[in-house]
Chains A and B, each alone.
Chain A
Amino acid sequence: MSYLCDGHSLRSWLLTTDHKRIAILYALAITAFFFVGGAAATMIRLELTTPAGDLVSDDAYNKLFTAHGVIMVWLFLIPSIPSVIGNFVLPLMIGARDLAFPRLNLLSWYLYMAGGLIVLAALALGGVDTGWTFYTPYSTMFSNSFVSLTLFGIFVTGLSSIATGINFIVTVHALRVPGLGWFRLPLFVWAHYATSIILVLATPVLAITLLLVAAERLFQIGVFDPAHGGDPLLFQHLFWFYSHPAVYIMVLPAMGVVSEIIPCFARKRIFGYRFMAYAILAIASVGFLVWGHHMFVSGQSPTANLLFSLLSFLVAVPSAIKVFNWTATLYKGSIRFDAPMLYALGFVGLFTIGGLTGLFLASIALDVHLTDTYFVVAHFHYIMVGGSVMAFFAGLHFWWPKVVGKHYPERLGRAAAVLVFFGFNLTFFPQYLLGVAGMPRRYHAYPPEFQVLNVLSSAGASILAVGYLLPLLYLGWSLRHGRPSGANPWGATGLEWQTASPPPTHNFEQPPEAPQDVYGYTPEIGARFGR
């Protein structure tokens, strides 16, 4: 009996310990949060079509960009691939019946929901206007908005992240089917393993940082207050010590998804498997050492600046290696351009551009000009949206048949992917130019010379919005009317495709055997499955 049919009551969903159902609970929640965050973005881009601050008040604008950042980072991006796709697919990939701690998994979801609802409550009560970065002393001593409540909400979602990280790590160590050694694991598993290490080690630093900000607001314990000998820069160090690895929490799972999709749709083994695995570990570890590149003009010492700049250049190398290996995977392949592949190729292109612009920002002299401008906004949106969100959609489409047992309409899927790609570039490429021209970020109103590029960006955003709404519609449609997919519609390797679509509650009818070759693609496999 498929996991979807194993209980229809609300209770069977809200008290489930089945990782697949929990993945769906997460999927519904992050979709809702994505559209709330997207609504904030819509308002921002509407305001920015004219130089004057004429749509909303300055205070409201500041609350909008804060809401957009907080929601998109903590309530959407960080949980998206790991808690939705990872939760569903990871145990299947290693031949397990569930995660190591199924009840902890459910607790993770409840913690996430609690945190998310607290953040929404803060929004409803009037919002917070500190920016998602909560810099002191503005957040501790000057903001009159619902800072502590928001911080508490984020703190609670952080607990969810830590629990998920612990769950994934123990699962990969303890529940692999016999014979599945580390270097036979799909790169998706490697990516989630590394991400989980970051989740476990970095999130607690965010936790203590947020607690200290709240303590300063609520109890006047001013460790960041210069009047008491405290240091506002200490906040920045602590905050970025988490928030830089956090971007790898957001991008490593995306890379894992892409590493599953490109081989499948190129009908070819992933190129350089070991280097890809080592590159994942290198990104995760060196990523802990570069946080100071967010602080080049903060008043940090020139020596620290140089050190962080060097390390930031170094951390780009493993990412470059991965891009080259994905490219080489295409060589002598037999490439199909289904929607997952379009999204995955889009990831490669946009991540490359975003990553290269990171080099500009790693150069101190250039960063002095570009930091706190729209160049940075463009850079991180290229990685987070052009990268992670594209990969999320890639994975969503790739594993959709596995999750619901139905095909989505392929032509609409491809159309949406193309629309998103073009809309994205039109939205965010002009922002690089805005940054170079000197437009600072977080500006409610701006000097008139920046208008042309802002109008282009807002036009792109409207296309992007349509591109994101389309999947909501046709994926929903496919639940009812989609063609049944069968166990392995893509002719993919990997254990998750060896069981039914949708899988039974305990994943496998018989205990599966370790796959001999998880990337053993040849064009013949496709033919055998009659695609």
Chain B
Amino acid sequence: MNASTDPGALDGSFRLLAQTASLGAQRTDRLFIAMLVICGLMALLLLGIVVGFAIRYREGSSADRSRPPSHANGLEAAWTIAPLIIFLVLFVWAADDSVQGALVPADALPVNVVAKQWMWKLEHPSGRQEINELHVPLGRPVVLVMASQDVIHSFFVPAFRAKQDVLPGRYTRLWFTASELGEYRMLCAEYCGAQHSAMIGRVVVMTPADYARWLADGPRGTTTAAQLGAALYERLACAGCHDPASSVHAPPLAGLYGRDVSLADGSHVVADENYLREAIVSPRRHLPAGYAAQMPSYAAQLSGDDLLALVAYLRSMPREELRR
């Protein structure tokens, strides 16, 4: 269970602040430093006053104690409004950062992640898979599409100041743009059972050229997630209903990913990974408008990895006609 399995490669030396290795981390650090300074000053000021009063007004001292005040509405107003303003400024700053962080760039490199007790399985679009390791190119946004096979886990890279819970039955996403070459800790941050603290690994940031070489160096004959998905699409004969020429009235799938979909109950959703996944495992839960509830569930025939592959296939071919 010893966590330090990687001598030499990962920096195991003591440091007060984690390395800053992503663009998001740089932004977070700015806020952190500001918070530290503001809160630090408030703390020092307050504690200084308390200690100061304690010394000056200790019993027996000769300080002036005439007309001790018992209340001062003006002062109360001041020390209510001033912190309120400071807190609101901090809130807005932090909120802005988090809103920025929630917008996944369209050109982000998608990596599928499956978490299970007690390991991480990652798959690049090229099909290359890794266990407990994530190789990423420098300077390119990467979005992790994550699902858990069992309990809630949490994908955490301190150097990126990035963390996101990984849930069963749903996809969650985490994106970052690595800004420093090197290797960084990757940890599970949501207690998930016995070997929670062993569910760690490393993120390796490489130059884009090295990354391309690394991808190419993978085991021969690896199929991409999308290719696996295409095979599944064919095996399960999805085109039987979803092909435009089919006699069954089923929603067309070409270019569906990312589009707005109107549902039978009048609401609208964006067809993201979660929508596609749910449409395959619980098709009648959110019926699209204008279609009968006749698609069966494929939950029993598809594993978590299969689902990720199918979803990858559906999103990877935006305008091409899907094969029969």
Contact = CB atoms under 8 A, between A and B. Distances in A.
Interface of A: 51-53, 58-59, 62, 129, 131, 135-138, 141-143, 226-227, 229, 232-233, 266-275, 297-299, 302, 305-306, 309-310, 313-314, 316-317, 320-321, 323-325, 327-328, 330-337, 345, 348-349, 352-353, 356-357, 359-360, 362-366, 368-369, 371-373, 433, 436-438, 440-453, 519, 523
B25 to A, nearest CB: 8
B163 A447 contact: no
Interface stretch (B131-139, B195-203, B227-235, B288-296): B195-203
B72 A368 contact: no
30 contacts: A137-B150, A232-B152, A275-B76, A297-B163, A297-B164, A309-B94, A310-B95, A317-B84, A324-B46, A332-B66, A332-B69, A333-B68, A335-B54, A335-B57, A345-B50, A345-B54, A349-B50, A352-B46, A353-B43, A368-B162, A369-B162, A369-B163, A437-B18, A438-B156, A438-B158, A445-B2, A447-B185, A448-B4, A449-B14, A451-B14
A440 B187 contact: yes
Q: In the A-B complex, list the 7 residue pairs whose CB atoms are closest, starting with the nearest.
A: A226-B169, A438-B158, A363-B94, A365-B97, A364-B98, A332-B68, A443-B197
A331 B91 contact: no
State the main secondary structure of chain A at its contact with B. helix
A437 B16 contact: yes
Contacts of A446: 3, 197
Given A360-B35, A369-B163, A438-B185, A334 B59 contact: yes
Interface in B199-245: 200
B126 interface: no
Contacts of B151: 135, 137-138, 141-142
A280 B150 CA distance: 42
B197 A356 contact: no
A59 B194 CA distance: 5
Interface string B117-160: 10000000000000000000000000000000011101010110
Given A138-B192, A443-B196, 16 more contacts: A58-B196, A137-B152, A226-B169, A227-B169, A272-B72, A313-B91, A316-B83, A328-B75, A333-B65, A333-B68, A359-B87, A363-B31, A366-B94, A368-B162, A444-B1, A447-B200
Contacts of B31: 363, 365-366
B46 A359 contact: no
Given A142-B193, A232-B168, A437-B158, A52 B2 contact: yes
B64 interface: yes
A298 B2 CA distance: 28
B102 interface: yes
Looking at A310, A357, A438, A442, which has the most chain B CB atoms within 10 Å of its CB? Answer: A438
How extensive is the interface on chain B, given as a class?
Answer: 35 or more
B98 A53 contact: no
Interface in B154-198: 154, 156, 158-159, 161-165, 167-170, 172, 185, 187-198
Contacts of B259: none
Contact of A332 (B57, B59, B97, B194): B57
Interface in B21-59: 27-28, 31-32, 35, 39, 42-43, 46-47, 49-50, 53-54, 57-59
Nearest to B196: A442
A440 B49 CA distance: 35
Contacts of A450: 14
A203 B228 CA distance: 50
A333 B3 contact: no
B260 interface: no
A436 B17 contact: yes
A364 B97 contact: yes
Contact of B58 (A321, A325, A335): A335
Looking at B43, B88, B98, B117, which has the most chain A CB atoms within 10 Å of its CB? Answer: B98
B189 A373 contact: yes
B71 A271 contact: yes
Contacts of B196: 58, 62, 442-444
Contacts of A372: 154, 156, 163, 189-190
A92 B137 CA distance: 70
Contacts of A129: 193-194
A187 B14 CA distance: 47
Given A268-B68, A449-B11, A320 B83 contact: yes
Contacts of A314: 84, 87
A371 B197 contact: no
B178 to A, nearest CB: 16
B167 to A, nearest CB: 6
B161 A369 contact: yes
B180 to A, nearest CB: 15
B99 interface: yes
B319 interface: no
Interface string B91-108: 101110111011000000
B89 to A, nearest CB: 10
Nearest to B191: A442
Contacts of A371: 163, 189
B282 interface: yes
B15 A437 contact: yes
B246 interface: no
A373 B163 CA distance: 11
Contact of A331 (B53, B161, B162, B170): B53
Contacts of B2: 51-53, 445
A229 B94 contact: no
B70 interface: yes
Given A321-B76, A335-B59, A448-B4, A302 B99 contact: yes
Contacts of B161: 365, 368-369
Contacts of A445: 1-3, 197-198
B43 A356 contact: yes
B152 A135 contact: yes
